[in-house]
Structure 1
């Protein structure tokens, strides 16, 4: 009998644009790490910020994942369908005095040094035109990363009472992702290194809610020729719809995996299956990787 709980990983993109090469590295690393442990791999669309969403992007993302052979288990989860659950958690935090309303603006916080100093903790503000902040009673300042070892966070960031419900009525990312990961039974979160800092905030929520936190592994980021990470905000091009094997192979190389020349003649399914068999977490590089515009044609 297996004495360890089954592995459940996930990929959770926001529908603010198509997947790009940096997205593929995150999705592929998460998929391979879960599948190599005979685990399940879930997909969740993080559609809780309508102003940033692009019509049709969610369906495009799902199609891209299927095209690149990244098949998920069970139905797709949509954060926009979880509002009642988020409200339930907010009400619990309010009733246990683990949160409070804040009317401070970003400009006010910047003028006080860039970090929120708990100005409204004792002000007794009402919910009208206010954000809800988590009251940091036992901040998490560090955590163990499965790739990087002990990661120590900026103490000012770790101690900050962060927003869990926005002034505009939207649910904050850290609240939604923590609730969803817990409710979906996620045991390991494999994602890009740009999300290292929010991890301590999510761990704080796990702690205050009395939940078991998943393990975390933060992958290196793909950088463009300008040295900035590939991202939707930086207008990274969408994943190509041709030469899929070459794109997958390049992503595997950047993830430190050994790739055989013959793999370029495999079907996408054969390539993914072989990558699962050969996956070695210990070979993943820690540092971000610089790529050039013609990098995908070099293999």
Structure 2
């Protein structure tokens, strides 16, 4: 049995849109073509924007499109104990430090946190916790993009692990979860390519095994903007999934089956899947036009 383990990790801040469908389909196809497991993780660490109603809606939409997780769906909001343990390890090793810098404080630095805080923590006020990032480059191989090299300083500097409000940040949570779920390859949109060096660094500091990387092209609207959950112009029709699936397959450079029914269509898509045909996402396609 294949040891491949992939995942799709949506944030429940709105309905699944076409751009998210492309990411879900790409990760699902890759896992099925490799004969491995496909997992779903609800990334709801941002409690102020996430909603369990949207989580249920996303899972129902995935099911309607033929995508069902091979294991129990994991929710980040239930995993604070694991994130705290990881943060404690980083703090005790001297890799994390308290920080009171706000986004407005860092505006003069182009949003990149410098080697030293702009604002010191205020006594009696809970600070954020940041990872101390070395001044070095991280290299990795991406299935679509080939050899990639990024400077850790240039892609964000010292980044947040836990916010001042107590919520754990995406970078820490996703690394802990990918490690704990034994994800063998991360398949996601190219907009997260610059997060990869930070996550590789975190994995190393936490003693987690390496994983593979595959970054998919983004879907842009006619104005060249990335689709977002707040974009209601391109909703998915759960009652008629094939038109959107055909468009998503074409976005991924794949052959589009002619089958008129869902299950044979997906089976044919898996049989024809060719990872070498996925286009690079440096300059994502403008795939959707406004009516």
Q: TM-score with structure 1 length normalisation?
A: 0.90
Structure 1 unaligned blocks of 5 or more = none
Q: 1:134 and 1:249, CA in 2 relative to 1: closer, same or farther beyond 3 A?
A: same
SS at structure 2 position matched to 1:157: coil
In the alignment, what sits opposite 2:265? 271
Residue of structure 2 in register with 1:145 after alignment:
142
For 2:100, the equivalent position in structure 1 comes to 103
For 1:88-127, list aligned pairs within 5 A. Answer: 88-120=85-117
* 3-state DSSP of counterpart to 2:154: helix
After superposition, residues 69-88 of structure 1 pair within 5 angstroms as 69-88=66-85
Distance in 2 of aligned mates of 1:139 and 1:124: 27
- Does the CA-based 8 Å contact 2:137-2:151 persist in structure 1? no
2:221, 2:290 within 8 Å by CA — same for their partners in 1? no
CA deviation profile, 1:28-49 (whole Å, cap 9, x unmatched):
0000001101000000001111
Shift in alpha-carbon separation, 1:198–1:250, aligned structure 2, 3 A: same
Where 1:10 maps in the other structure, the secondary structure is strand
Asked if residue 292 in structure 1 is aligned to residue 288 in structure 2, the reply is: yes
8 Å contact from structure 1 (residues 69, 268) kept in 2: yes
The equivalent residue for 2:39 is: 42
Equivalent residue pairs, number? 289
> What does residue 61 of structure 1 align with?
58
For 2:48, what is the secondary structure of its paired residue? helix
Normalising by the residue count of structure 2, what TM-score does the alignment of the two structures yield? 0.92
Contact kept, 8 Å, 1:16 with 1:52, in 2: the verdict is: yes
CA distance in 1, matches of 2:270, 2:52: 33
The alpha-carbon deviation at position 225 of structure 1 amounts to: 1.4
Structure 2 counterparts to residues 172-191 of structure 1, below 5 A:
172-191=169-188
- Quick check: 1:139–1:159 contact (8 Å CA) kept in 2? no
Tell whether the 8 Å contact from 1:103 to 1:131 is kept in structure 2 after alignment.
Answer: yes
Q: Unaligned 5+ residue runs, structure 2?
A: none
Aligned partners of 1:114, 1:44: CA distance in 2, in Å?
29
1:231 aligns to 2:225 (yes or no)? no
**How far apart are residue 213 of structure 1 and its match?**
2.1
Between the aligned partners of 1:194 and 1:126, the Cα distance in structure 2 is: 37
Q: CA deviation at 1:234?
A: 4.2
